Copies of this chain bind each other. A is one copy, B any other.
Amino acid sequence: MRRFSLLTSGIALCAATVAYANDDLITQMDDSKQWAIQTGDYKNHRYSELDEINAENVGDLQVAWTFSTGVLRGHEGSPLVIGDTMYVHTPFPNIVYALDLSNEGKIIWKYEPKQDPDVIPVMCCDTVNRGVAYADGKIFLHQADTKVVALDANTGDVLWEVQNGDPSIGETNTATVLPVKDKVIVGISGGEFGVRGHVTAYDINSGELVWRAYSLGPDDDMLVDPENTTHLGKPIGENSSLNSWEGDQWMIGGGTTWGWYAADMEENLFYYGTGNPSTWNPAQRPGDNRWTMTVMARDIDTGMAKWFYQMTPHDEWDYDGVNENILTEQEFDGEMRKLLTRFDRNGLAYTMDRVTGELLVAEKFDPVVNWTTGVDMDPNSETYGRPQVVAQYSTAQNGEDVNTTGICPAALGTKDQQPAAYSPKTQVFYVPTNHVCMDYEPFRVSYTAGQPYVGATLSMYPAPDSHGGMGNFIAWDNINGEILWSIPEKFSVWSGALATAGDVVFYGTLEGHLKAVHADTGEELYRFKTPSGIIGNVMTYEHDGRQYVGVLSGVGGWAGIGLAAGLTNPNDGLGAVGGYAALSDYTALGGQLTVFALPN
């Protein structure tokens, strides 16, 4: 597995080249004692150099302390640690706590925004929030109602706030923000409400809007250059989005931007993906629906697009393309490349050149994926880069009001928002996955602002003829495009993974276990039943010379929506309620941080 020794750490690569308000953040990200950004670093590695807790001793792990957030429903994201302070956020109403690590977690300050609860029913997939961000002495919170707030990290005082979207038309937020250079880059949710996705940069000091780039629509709105913005190496040309929609449909066309963001400061690029086209009924929106379902590389300063790659043209299954892009430097075909690896909802794991947008690998990361036979990898082909669709599982080909059955994966994908980790030490990706299939029946729906614009009835169930469970936790080789090992799980693994230099990989389960497995073999080394199902992401930090591992419990998210929102009709929750009904035998709602350490 260890093809060559570890290169420079992600951040060190660019630290010398910047002199911005977020130098402080870069220093913090470089210091493995901190957990300064939700994603671990700009490269989305979720890897820590800390190794006090390691494969030898992780079996002795203990709970060191705990903290109840005072909020129920799904707790995604993780705390941050900056110095002696831990920042803990909650789902709606998006409380932020600053806890004193030197004083038994005493609450230094608490920020509780006043938000109109009317935003709750326009959140598609639970009232989750994927966490606050830190830079330059500020904590950035992007609320459910799309207000972006900068707080003084020491006092919790509001430094600036700005309204990014309009919940009355279904614009909401669940994502964390990306503080990079002198900007805070933020996305938007609402693909199930016909929201037209956009990404916006605000000035990190004032909150002033610097630029906004839509995912679809006119070139000017999209911040694209028909000549210089490329798709698989070719210029996208004029009106590349408008040309792929009928009439005005792009105006309510989705492509929201609620996933994880990465940055390569050397290239001055940031990366993210766009979500599903609206509605879920493909018959209502002929065309490729560009640039939904697309990974995008954009200039940090201007927002101008450098390259796009559309994973799932004309989506027929709700395979949002928002999953995280993990940036690595690895040898590929004998050459060191700057890579981008992503585990897409559609069940394919892509390895790309992140500078050029060249597609290098596209392989299924769950063998049950059946809607496609794979991606056309022939650069000279007409359908280069397109997934080949299997007619039987094409909800577009089967048509409206036809129930297409047995599609794998289900709409929530082989992986949803739950982020993977990458260990530069093992050069392996550790990926929380879903092992769920579905029936999907599209129907005609009309658009009303602020009302669901879904147009499909779904039901979900464990992948048939498999181990019976709804998830796997896998190790992935992104160079050869293959699974190295796979741990079957009863439910989807909806928690984010953490890899460490101690050769341990951590993840949480929907039943509520924190699990530690060996990075090389997947062997389970430790498990602990936390208060509630885990959909948070595991993080680690060091304080007073001791390594800690922390994770939020609080079942919910799309997978846990039945429990979180108290739904029982199997088709409710966009089809997830039935599939995950058994979850209520294992856990109840919660909202707790559990922090682990080795015995003193």
Contacts and interface: CB of A to CB of B under 8 A. Distances in A.
B528 A68 contact: no
A66 B586 contact: no
Given A63-B62, A588-B97, A529 B104 contact: yes
A66 B529 contact: yes
Interface in A48-73: 60, 62-63, 65-70, 72
Contacts of A69: 588
A65 B532 CA distance: 11
A95 B72 CA distance: 15
B110 A584 contact: yes
Interface in A78-112: 95, 97, 104-107, 110
A531 interface: yes
Query: Which among A62, A72, A531, A584 has the greatest number of chain B C-beta atoms within 10 A?
Result: A531
Contact of A592 (B62, B104, B531): B531
A585 B70 contact: no
Nearest to A97: B588
A451 interface: no
B104 A68 contact: no
Given A97-B588, A588-B97, A592-B592, A68 B531 contact: yes
Nearest to A95: B588
B585 A67 contact: no
Contacts of A284: none
Contact of A106 (B67, B106, B532, B585): B585
Given A62-B63, A72-B70, A528-B65, A106 B588 contact: no
Contact of A531 (B67, B106, B110): B67
A178 interface: no
Contact of A594 (B66, B105, B586): B66
A589 interface: yes
A107 B66 contact: no
Contact of A68 (B65, B590, B599): B590
B68 A553 contact: yes
A537 interface: no
Nearest to A527: B104
- What 9 A-B pairs come out closest when comparing CB atoms? A68-B590, A70-B588, A68-B531, A63-B63, A70-B589, A68-B532, A66-B531, A65-B529, A531-B592
